Amino acid sequence: MATVTPHDVQQAASLLQPFILRTPLLESLALNLMTKARIMVKAENLQTGGSFKVRGALHRVLKLSPTEKAKGVIAFSSGNFGQGLAAACGQLSDPPVQCTIVMPGDTPMAKQTRARSYGATVVLSNIVPGINREVTAAELAEELASTHKYTLLHPFEDPDVIAGQGSCGVEICQQCQEQCNLDTGPDMLLIPTGGGGLAAGCALAVHAVYGDAVSMYAVEPEGYDDHRLSFAQGSRVGLTGNPVSLCDSLQAVSPGKNTFPITRRLLAGALVVNDSEVRNAMKVAFETLQLVLEPGGAVGLAAVLSGKCGDVEGKTIVVIASGGNTDYEKFSTIMGGGSTCRSSSSSGGVESKL
């Protein structure tokens, strides 16, 4: 098992600083009055590539050896990790690093197009010249990596990715001290959680500064509460089934093997929110913060607004708004009460959406 230390996270933050946006820690008077709490929103939806994922992706790319850089990288993802990696390789690296993203065949054209616009090669897992059988995106990525000597990148297991995501937590600590004189830290930190890369990285960063003074929670969508179950059992639980959830970016079925030892040690627990609570949080973010959040990016705010954090009156709560990659039509469908389906079985497993 690979370990990640607070020092690794701090180093990652320094390395990334010239390349990424230090996203704002935002407050809304209206939201504070509504909740009777002080809600500080770390707006990672404004990050390059539309989510925090570029942090870990770029950190991993910066740590590649010269030979690995020359050969290029590959990942399987229809979601934010793919967008973040494409942006990291094609736009933020100088010179650019060749990048292939394997997406399931049913990935919306807008996501394919945007990854291509960043400079990535997009391969659809059901349309593969020279391969005459059904393969998942994961299998295909492994085959292509092996054939072309690409470095295969994992969205949350890689220690360099975890350390990179933690740079978000480093910024939160800096911003709490700079903007708010919060020397003792906020009362609570809420982290949207799929595989646990963001949660593990940020927990390391925040615990290093504030110790146990900040109660940190993973927030998961209903049906994908693998962290909650794993914390209760004391070991990694794997979910089965294929429940419907709006939160396509948080559909991990098990905590990562490298993230879980960290999150188990440092988090106070996991909170679970349902689609209706997520939809409401997206609307509140729109109207009080003027931010567009994707469903997975809104689970932290949903936990506050739905009372899942208990009585928050008078408390200071940092909420990570982890991403905002949604087009208007999809947002509008969600606001209308429609639910999007889980990725089809051709997607090569849950990680393809991460």
Q: Which residues bind a copy of itself (CB under 8 A)?
A: 21, 23-24, 26-27, 29-30, 33, 43, 45-46, 48-50, 87, 91, 114, 117-118, 283, 286-287, 289-293, 324-328, 331-332, 335
Side chain identity at residue 270, one-letter code:
A
Smallest distance, a copy of itself to C-beta of residue 149, A: 28
Q: Rank residues 286 and 346 by Cβ distance to a copy of itself and give the closer one.
A: 286
Order across the sheet with 215-221: list the strands. Answer: 25-26, 38-43, 316-321, 188-192, 215-221, 269-273
Q: Which is nearer to a copy of itself, 253 or 281 (CB)?
A: 281
Smallest gap from Cβ 201 to a copy of itself, in A, equals 22
Closer to a copy of itself by CB, 5 or 113: give it: 113
Question: Burial letters for 212-235: b for 16+ Cβ neighbours within 10 Å, e otherwise?
Answer: eebbbbbbbbbbbbbbbbbbeeee
Q: Which is nearer to a copy of itself, 21 or 239 (CB)?
A: 21
- Least separation, in Å, of the C-beta of 315 and a copy of itself? 18
User: What is the closest distance, in whole angstroms, from the C-beta atom of residue 117 to a copy of itself in the complex?
Assistant: 5
Q: Is 27 exposed, middle or buried (0-12, 13-18, 19+ CB in 10 A)?
A: middle
Task: Report DSSP state, residue 41.
Answer: E
Task: For residues 337 and 354, give the distance between their C-alpha atoms in angstroms, rounded to a whole number.
Answer: 23
Instruction: Of 40, 354, 81, give the one whose Cα is nearest residue 206.
Output: 40
Tell the smallest beta-carbon distance from residue 286 to a copy of itself (Å): 5
By beta-carbon proximity to a copy of itself, the closer residue of 42 and 236 is 42
In the complex, least distance from residue 52 CB atom to a copy of itself, rounded to whole angstroms: 12
Q: How far apart are CA 133 and CA 117, in angstroms?
A: 29
Closer residue to a copy of itself in complex, CB, 28/347: 28
Report how far Cα 272 is from the mean position of its chain's Cα atoms: 16
CB 293 within 8 A of CB 50: no
Return the SS3 of 49.
helix
Amino acid code (one letter) for 281:
A
Nearest approach in angstroms of CB 324 to a copy of itself is 3
Closest CA relative to residue 170, chosen from 23, 269, 354: 23
Quick one: 134 or 178, whose CB is closer to a copy of itself? 178
